[in-house]
Chains A and B, each alone.
Chain A
């Protein structure tokens, strides 16, 4: 594939970026004692981007032939020509980057290829059937397994030349409990970059299922907490949501240029001394983080980017264009979901660095607060105002967890919340590898960190 792409651009003088992308998404889902769906989605093509007259033109083709790719190059160039006059800030030539050259084969691919469809169907069906029998309160238990296998080749006229592949399996269980017409749900999911040994390294499928069922049943007897400003201890998954939604999006350089709250704050204090935040294309500390990429979609080797160091904002996340604008180097953060998508600046694996406390100390040191666990969804705003939803809020009174309350929405201003961080634990976990981040197009990301104590606004009665 690399040879075909190189052949297509060998006579090009301007900047041309060709990205071949083949994606297979298998998914299996069982509920009510039967396989509800068994599906395979395959999509292949080449995305073509040209920088011409100071602006971008993009086209794509699902026909992977020299003629079709070169036709897409002409279409992309034409698109750039037509629109160039409108662009006020022309893009100069892009900075050189640490381009990937060679083949990069991801972890777990042989595992993925050796597992049969029957094994995957048996996994979801057996876990579903077993879970359904554990309690008469369970109205329904659904169990799903999916995997995305991808191959990409990226060749640019200024030096990138790589092929890489990866597989991202995901396992999820959702349970609904019913007591006298009151319905509550519990969800557990795990997603990694790698094989099944990595996917089930912390909990096996049965344990994941048991946790989801227990949450649904426990929530039947829970009530909403009191709303208002509260001291909270966030689990690594919730810390992951916080750093992804509240900070990560505001430091994406395209967002910064549009006027996000992080604009102009490099070198200033945005968090307490205990806060150090990174985003990396590599799975730091533990293998398998769900947003791991060997090469970004501009052909650049992703770096570990220190965003906040001891509370001071140090860097934004860049693609090649914004790196030129900020006179810095690309961070390897350009990502596209499909071959027909234009690469955008996206996070990869975002994490808070661990501290020195233990979870036990943090709970014991909290007189009145909540322990939040079980991420649902989250969003952030240009103002840095974020929200995320949690499944479970455990009440902490006088240093002890006393009761389970219904999880609600947590919100706050990103940098205010980081300033309020007063305890950070030693433990570390990646815990946001399932699902997707949305920014016009989806992206597989991960996030996590230690347990953290901070102050947030809790929605409630």
Chain B
């Protein structure tokens, strides 16, 4: 499967779907949308610091949405020959409902901006043998550089595919994509001392870029695993926490972004309801969406509904600028059209959310965070829970360490408790440096104050 054959496949499928949409209209089914997602992937998986298996999979999924008189039915299928039957089945689901809403309609077509292609043809020269070589290198790195680290699992993947959306209202969008990626998960073991689990990953559109990123990611993984050995319990305290980019997003800003979802806003399940134009966070914090960046994995010209995406502000100096809307939520909010934030794919109805957020770097040097003249708890990862409506979160600190007078002490069996909305105003400093999470979201390091840390009091 190469770029040329994928382009032919898109062209063939466009003709096929166009015929089905015409047939639907001639049968009185006026609102049909088909989202097609095709993927071809080759994987080598690792387990127990050894090769596990080698796989090749290919699948085309179709998400079919039929709206009739304000009611909607949705079918996902991977069976191309029976797509017409699935359209009829989706209509039947729509017809069985008794709660129509006039705002539930398919969007009209809008012009899409050009985006840099995320399919680098050089990836077509790669195959399973390259993945085996990459896997072998990773196993050698482990053996030579990190002999105490055990790889629980790992995966090296070449993925190629396309997404295509068409509807009876005339919406059309198609994009190809391909990347090479790898991930690793494991822990360090030194006799009875088993360190906390950790992971890292890398993705790129070409082999050369991938190899650079993967080496760094693997070393980062190895260093984090080794750094978790010799962990000690700590007493409870209240004070500062230092979050690296992954922890910033996965447990803090990610929840905040969830609160900006147009559906939660409409249903009154978000504390951010009615807050656009007001200050909801520290003025140090600015966030924007940017789906235009070349070599970023979330770059795309259209959203789940085929509506245009664009660079746009979300939060500027702590002031909330927008919510995330798909077409339905935009109409419920009194807007004419969505702002390009419909999420999902062939296996889900359009949701609302961001796809490539960029968080503004701050003015601090991250190394200075490690030299503060007071206790700071570095939280590598949080294994925990958060509650969307209240914003409360709590969890066990994983791979963390206490920074005390320049000393880094690995810790274990400690928990952190907080609230996302309070935390937005507890930001003391943001670093200049950051990381690209999933080669998509730019996120810096953040220092926050006023957190409750629960540990085992004797500190042994």
Name A residues whose Cβ lies closer than 8 Å to a Cβ of B: 30-35, 37-45, 49, 55-62, 75-76, 78-80, 82-83, 85-89, 116-118, 121, 125, 139-140, 176, 178, 181-185, 224, 227-229, 254-255, 257-261, 340, 342, 376-377, 379, 381-383, 385-387, 389, 406, 408-409, 411-413, 440, 457-461
Q: Are B267 and A140 within 8 A (Cβ)?
A: yes
Q: Are A259 and B189 within 8 A (Cβ)?
A: yes
Other A-B contacts than A389-B395, A409-B417, 18 sampled, CB-CB below 8 A, are A38-B74, A38-B93, A39-B76, A39-B93, A42-B76, A49-B53, A56-B52, A61-B58, A62-B60, A82-B132, A140-B268, A228-B236, A258-B48, A376-B385, A382-B197, A387-B396, A387-B415, A408-B415
| A117 → chain B closest CB, angstroms | 5
Q: Which residues of A contact B61 (CB under 8 A)?
A: 43
Q: Are A45 and B269 within 8 A (Cβ)?
A: no
Q: Which residues of B contact A260 (CB under 8 A)?
A: 194
A340 with B269, Cβ < 8 A, contacts A44-B78, A86-B136 known: no
Q: Does B166 contact A (CB under 8 A)?
A: no
Q: Which of these, B151, B236, B271, B412, contacts A258 with CB under 8 Å?
A: B151
Closest-by-CB residue of B relative to A376 is B385
Q: Does B99 contact A (CB under 8 A)?
A: yes
Q: A261–B73 Cα gap in the complex (Å)?
A: 48
Which 6 residue pairs of A and B lie closest in terms of their CB atoms, listed nearest first?
Answer: A227-B454, A389-B385, A34-B99, A459-B415, A56-B53, A79-B54
Q: Are B197 and A35 within 8 A (Cβ)?
A: no
Q: Which of these, A83, A140, A181, contacts B271 with CB under 8 Å?
A: A181
Q: Which residues of A contact B132 (CB under 8 A)?
A: 82-83, 85-86
Q: Which residues of B contact A459 (CB under 8 A)?
A: 394-396, 415-417, 454
Q: Which of these, B48, B77, B78, B269, contacts A183 with CB under 8 Å?
A: B269
Q: Are A41 and B196 within 8 A (Cβ)?
A: no
A185 with B54, Cβ < 8 A, contacts A121-B97, A440-B153, A459-B417 known: no
Q: Are B194 and A259 within 8 A (Cβ)?
A: yes
Q: Which of these, A40, A61, A62, A125, contacts B93 with CB under 8 Å?
A: A40
Q: Does B135 contact A (CB under 8 A)?
A: yes
State how many residues of chain B have any CB contact under 8 Å with chain A. 83
Q: Are A457 and B54 within 8 A (Cβ)?
A: no
Q: A181–B395 Cα gap in the complex (Å)?
A: 25
Q: Are A254 and B47 within 8 A (Cβ)?
A: yes
Q: A376–B392 Cα gap in the complex (Å)?
A: 13
Q: Does B413 contact A (CB under 8 A)?
A: yes
Q: Which of these, B269, B347, B456, contacts A140 with CB under 8 Å?
A: B269
Q: Does B122 contact A (CB under 8 A)?
A: no
A82 with B197, Cβ < 8 A, contacts A38-B94, A227-B236, A408-B394 known: no
A457 with B89, Cβ < 8 A, contacts A139-B267, A385-B196 known: no
Q: A185–B259 Cα gap in the complex (Å)?
A: 14
Q: Does B410 contact A (CB under 8 A)?
A: no
A183 with B412, Cβ < 8 A, contacts A43-B78, A56-B52, A259-B187 known: no
Q: Which residues of B contact A116 (CB under 8 A)?
A: 96
Q: Which of these, A35, A43, A125, A377, contacts B76 with CB under 8 Å?
A: A43
Which residues 342-393 of B sit at the A interface, judged by CB distance below 8 A?
347, 349, 383-385, 387-390, 392
Q: Does B118 contact A (CB under 8 A)?
A: no
Q: Which of these, A121, A181, A389, A460, contacts B454 with CB under 8 Å?
A: A460
13 contacts between A and B (CB under 8 A): A38-B73, A41-B75, A56-B54, A59-B57, A79-B54, A83-B128, A121-B96, A183-B389, A381-B383, A383-B412, A457-B415, A457-B454, A460-B417
| A219 → chain B closest CB, angstroms | 8
